[in-house]
Amino acid sequence: MAANQEQKEFFGPIAALIGKWEGDKGMDVSPEKEGDEKSPYFETITIEPIGDATNAGEQTLVVLSYVQVVSRKDTGKVFHHQIGYWYFEKATGDVLYSLTIPRAVTVLARGKATLNGPKTDISVKADAQNKNYGILESTFMSAKASTRSFEMSVSVYENTLSYKMNTGLHIYGRDFAHTDENTLTRRVLAHL
Ligand code: HEM
C-alpha cells in the first residue's frame, strides 16, 4: 500500500509515509519514581490518505491520518495508543504532526521534510511555551506528569520507516527524557 504516482503529486513529501507499517524492534524508556524503565515493544502504524483541507479560503493543507498501536514484548499487551494527522502545506513547506494519547495529552508539532535522493527525512517539534505548536494536557497531568516538549524525527527509505521520539516530561519532581524509537517495514500486499 505504498503511495502511487498520483498520491505522490497530491501529498508531496508526506506521501512517503502512506502504508501499514509493522516493527518489532521498538525501545521505550519511561519514567519510574526512581530511575527509568526500558521496555522493548512491537507496533503497527497505519497511515492513510485523507485529502485536503482549505482554511479561510486561503490555506490548503493535504492530510493523512494515522493510528499507532504499541504493545509490550514481554506481555503482548497494548501499552501505548496514539492517533492523529500528518499535514503538509505546499505554500510554506511546513509539515505538521498532531497526536492524542489516552493519558489526556495532545500535541501539535511543526517541522519540515527533506528529500535526500530516495530518502525522505521529516522532523517536527512542539514546546509547551509555544501557543501554536504546543501541548495541551489535563489538569492532573499538568500537575503530576507534565509534557514540556516533544520532538520526533522520521526517515522513510523504500519500505523501511524509522523514527525517534523524545518527549520531555516533568514527573516525580524532576525532568525526564521519555524516548521511543523503532524501525518498521511497510507491509506490501502480494500481487496475485
Ligand atoms: C511509542 C511511544 C510511547 C510508548 C511506548 C510509551 C510508553 C510509556 C510508558 C510505559 C510509560 C510509563 C507508564 C507507567 O509507569 O505507568 C509512559 C509514561 C508517560 N508517557 Fe509515554 N509512551 C510513548 C509515547 C508518549 C508520547 C508521544 C507522549 C506525549 C507526548 C507520552 C507521554 C507520557 C507521559 C506524560 C507519561 C507519564 C505518566 C506516568 O508515568 O505516570 N508518551 N509512557
| C-alpha distances in Å from residue 34, one per residue of 30, 42, 58 | 11, 25, 50
Task: Give the distance (Å) from ligand 1 centre to CA of residue 137.
Answer: 13
Look at strands 94-101 and 119-127 and give their pairing.
Answer: unpaired
Task: Give the distance (Å) from ligand 1 centre to CA of residue 30.
Answer: 6
pLDDT surpassing 90 at residue 191 = no
Residue type, 166: N
Residue type, 10: F
Q: Is the CB of 98 under 6 A from ligand 1?
A: no
CATH class label, 5-186: mainly beta
For residues 176 and 122, what is the distance between their CA atoms, to the nearest angstrom? Answer: 24
CA angle 171, 97, 173 (to 5 degrees): 5
Q: Over the stretch 112-151, which tens digit does the pLDDT of each residue have?
A: 999 999 999 999 999 999 999 999 999 999 999 999 999 9
**Cβ 183 vs Cβ 162: under 8 Å:** yes
pLDDT for 4 equals: 86
Q: Is the CB of 105 under 6 A from ligand 1?
A: yes
Ligand 1 atom 36, closest CA: 145
| Residue the block writes with cell 511555551 | 129
CA angle 134, 167, 116 (to 5 degrees): 85
Average pLDDT over every residue of 50-77: 98
Look at strands 19-31 and 174-186 and give their pairing.
Answer: antiparallel
Q: Over the stretch 89-116, which tens digit does the pLDDT of each residue have?
A: 999 999 999 999 999 999 999 999 999 9
Q: Which residues contact 121 (CB under 8 A, 6 or more apart)?
A: 113, 114, 115, 153, 154, 155
Q: Is the CB of 45 under 6 A from ligand 1?
A: no
Q: Whole-prediction pTM value? A: 0.96
The residues spanned by each domain of the chain are: 5-186
The phi and psi torsions of 18 (rounded to 5 degrees) equal -60, 130
